[in-house]
Amino acid sequence: MRFLVAFVAVLGYASAGVISPLVLGVNPGDAQAAAIDATVAAQDTVRAIGEGQARAAEAAVLHNTEAVRQVAETTRDINENAYWNSVAAGQNVVAAVQSQAAALDGVANARVAQLTIPGVPLAAPYIAAAPVGLAAPYGLGLGAHAVGLRAW
């Protein structure tokens, strides 16, 4: 029974604490202080939300700036590699053409050497048969590159 009396007493005290402001009324100073506290808490919350949004926006801008920089750097590298690859390919083509021309020139010179008799010019049969004045400009000649191709 003592327990029951103690329980009722605690219950009465707790309910009196909750009901007393409604029955007795609130002190105007306490109400004004509570309103100021609520206003300050709301302002702090709004400020914290605004600061969080500003930090998020700044982080997004930094992230986007870094992404744009990386894309620009990658594009520059790709273009630079493509340029130097095309330069190398062009040089390889020129070298291949020069090698082919040198090979053809060597074959032509070898063929001329097979067809000529030492001491007799290759153009001698054509010069003898051609009218005067026509053999010199159109003769085959005797130089190192008399017949064949010239390399660049």
Q: What is the pLDDT of residues 45-60, one digit of tens each?
A: 999 999 999 999 999 9
As a whole number of angstroms, the distance between CA 106 and CA 99 comes to: 10
Tell me, yes or no, whether 151 lies in a domain: no
Q: How many domains does the chain have?
A: 1
> What pLDDT score was predicted for residue 152?
46
Q: What is the pLDDT of residue 21?
A: 57
Q: Residue 140: its pLDDT value, please?
A: 45
Q: Does residue 111 have a pLDDT over 60?
A: yes
85 located within any domain: yes
Highest mean pLDDT among 32-41, 65-74, 107-116, 134-143: 65-74
Tell me if 5 is assigned to some domain.
no
The residue segments making up the domain with residue 84 are 25-138
- On whether the pTM is more than 0.75, the answer is no
CB count, 10 Å around CB of 47?
Answer: 10
- 12-49 pLDDT per residue, tens: 655 555 555 555 567 888 888 989 999 999 999 999 99
Whether 150 is covered by a domain: the verdict is no
Domain membership of residue 82 (yes or no) is yes
Q: What is the pLDDT of residue 10?
A: 55
CA–CA gap between residue 135 and residue 121 (Å, rounded) = 13
User: Is the per-residue pLDDT at 150 higher than 50?
Assistant: no
